[in-house]
Amino acid sequence: MIINNSWVLKRLKFLLAASLWLLSVAVASLISANYLPDVEVDVTYLDKLVHAAFYMVATFLLYLHFRNSQQPRILLKIAMFCFGYGMIIEVLQYALPYNRGFEWADMMANGFGILLAIMLIKFVLSPAGQGKGKF
């Protein structure tokens, strides 16, 4: 079997990007809120929008890495991984002894971001007729 090196490098690029993104999400989510800058932005639920964006990007980057995988339902597996990752971070926030905590609304925002990524992948990026099937 001949493997195209540029294809492998492209896939590894997306895996590296996804890994760095997930690491950044963990760091941003788990550092003490005392170290975060005070941002005076008058946007209702800005925190939830940030959660949705974090997990939408994570889902999308992982999809770009695994999109040619022969595994069945790879998008569902990616979504479950991202949601589980968010749950672990929320539990860690609850367990850590500083100014962070578990919020169900954060979990819902994470899930919303994952669903947005799935919709983008299935209905915008998929070739015509391929986006309407099972994921």
pLDDT, tens only, 95-111: 988 777 888 999 999 99
**Based on C-alpha coordinates, what's the Rg of the chain?**
17
Q: Where are the domains of the chain?
A: 50-135
Residue 76 has pLDDT above 90, yes or no: yes
pTM of the model: 0.81
What is the predicted pLDDT for the residue at 47?
87
**Closest Cα to residue 33, out of 101, 92, 86?**
101
What is the predicted pLDDT for the residue at 51?
95
Q: How confident is the model at residue 2 (pLDDT cuts 50, 70, 90)?
A: low
* Chain segment 3-62, per-residue pLDDT in tens: 566 766 777 899 999 999 999 999 988 887 666 666 666 666 888 999 999 999 999 999
- Residue length, the chain? 135
Burial state string for 33-69 with b = 16 or more CB within 10 A and e = fewer than 16: eeeeeeeeeeeeeeebebbbebbbbbbbbbbbbbeee
The burial class, CB within 10 Å (0-12 / 13-18 / 19+), for 90 is: buried
Q: How confident is the model at residue 75 (pLDDT cuts 50, 70, 90)?
A: very high
Q: How confident is the model at residue 1 (pLDDT cuts 50, 70, 90)?
A: very low
Q: How confident is the model at residue 72 (pLDDT cuts 50, 70, 90)?
A: confident
